[in-house]
Structure 1
């Protein structure tokens, strides 16, 4: 076989091999695309579901909807029907758009609907959105709590017992639930709330609970949202007019 024929044969083999490789690539791409756009139907929340609200009540209130999601985006333990959750209640707030998973529901009569850490108890405080970082505090947030009230201060060398003071009350507290309150309806003798109020439920020990309750009854609380890198240090005197600019 002369050189010319050998070159022609080699060209045919290379072309055939290239065709096979292109075919295999296209087939693989089609399979990957099909897998990417393969959808399954799951139940999703279309309205807020509050802690303690039963799945039955949520369904009856139109808060659930069967929607398609990409198969690889479906969460573990997601459900497509409420059949396995009938009679159970949400143990945390479920926001619109969330997939309904079994982990977030439990017995409606269970006292542990709130995720209270071991050794802690749950107490609630009511705050305006301004005092709770403009509404950014959610269940699971970590916060520092400050108290604004009156206390002992030295002003111009004179000790006063009733000077305004702001101090750190608790440096690191976990919020376990957040719920909105209903503003007072206008009417004769009624006072309409100027700002929306929210109830924050905190996980605290006994001493912390006593401090929060006392401070709420005798002063004003403000919450600061924090993360693992936040540096919070208590001061002995807090901030008064005497040291405000020092």
Structure 2
């Protein structure tokens, strides 16, 4: 009886904690939703289930209601258990094996990220993410002061893209376009994708503007990228930056140098 009382109290505490955070409805996947399954069938068969989450923690684009406006839509691809049900995962028809819907005026760019860099498995098609870029900061000067600064190997991180939509997600790794096995290329690959032969990397395909696509492609090839999952209504400062000099409250060193490789 004592154990039952403890369990009852803990469950009640969890419920009270959620109630205190302005809970909102969000659907999650309980069992695999096969491609082609209607939203109504997914709900009636118990493949998806409505739950309550804190408003600040609900991802942008998550499904919050099943009604006459969307019940006939079908899953465009298989949806795995544990995922939030994103509205973008359902459409008028099942997507073909190689189909990808790129919004008008946008460019689809794929980025290879390992599990931590893609927020574990919580980034899915329809998610909105922020992309960060980390690189070395180098002084453009040639005097002794500049040389001393460059020897410090200072790193800085900037917001590269403040809000972009994920339109596809897969496990096929990017192929190395260069056959050069030099140590420089090996070091570059290690720093860019953060992966090894034992570390699973995934392709996250995002929809960006033509101008953003140039920034993203350059950064994929030059810097270390990291993604963050945006909550509903979250706004990230596109000018956000941090470096080794001010990460713990000191003075920024970005004024002394530029990102390594930047032109």
2:227 to 218, 223, 230: 223
Deviation, 1:69, is 4.1
* Map of 2:213 onto structure 1: 209
Q: In proportion to residue count, which structure has more strand?
A: 1
* Map of 1:180 onto structure 2: 171
Cα separation, 2, equivalents of 1:221 and 1:105: 32
Q: Deviations over 1:194-238 (max 9, x none)?
A: 3211110100111111111111111111000002322311337x2
Q: Deviations over 1:7-33 (max 9, x none)?
A: xxxxxxxxxxxxxxxxxxxxxxxxxxx
Cα separation, 2, equivalents of 1:170 and 1:218: 15
1:127 maps to 2:113: yes
Cα separation, 1, equivalents of 2:243 and 2:196: 32
* Map of 1:27 onto structure 2: none
* Map of 1:104 onto structure 2: 93
Residues 1:192 and 1:144: Cα distance change in structure 2 (over 3 Å)? closer
Residues 1:194 and 1:172: Cα distance change in structure 2 (over 3 Å)? same
* Map of 2:157 onto structure 1: 166
Larger radius of gyration: 1
**Cα contact 1:143–1:225 (8 A) shared by 2:** yes
Cα separation, 1, equivalents of 2:165 and 2:225: 15
Provide the aligned length of Structure 1 versus Structure 2: 164
Residues 1:124 and 1:48: Cα distance change in structure 2 (over 3 Å)? farther
Calculate the TM-score normalised by the size of structure 2.
0.49
Gap regions ≥5 residues in structure 1? 1-45, 56-67, 80-89, 184-190
Calculate the TM-score normalised by the size of structure 1.
0.52
2:239 to 230, 235, 239: 235
Higher-RCO chain (CA-CA 8 Å, sequence separation at least 6): 2
Give the 5 Å matches for 1:1-246. 69=45, 76-77=71-72, 91-95=76-80, 103-105=92-94, 108=96, 113-152=99-138, 160=149, 163-181=154-172, 193-235=197-239, 238-246=241-249
Cα separation, 2, equivalents of 1:227 and 1:95: 21
**Cα contact 1:173–1:203 (8 A) shared by 2:** yes
Instruction: Specify the SS of the correspondent of 1:217.
Output: helix
Deviation, 1:148, is 1.0
**Cα contact 1:92–1:114 (8 A) shared by 2:** no
Instruction: Specify the SS of the correspondent of 2:166.
Output: strand
Cα separation, 2, equivalents of 1:192 and 1:166: 23
Cα separation, 2, equivalents of 1:147 and 1:201: 17
**Cα contact 1:147–1:220 (8 A) shared by 2:** yes
Deviation, 1:182, is 6.6
Deviation, 1:76, is 3.7
Residues 1:214 and 1:104: Cα distance change in structure 2 (over 3 Å)? same
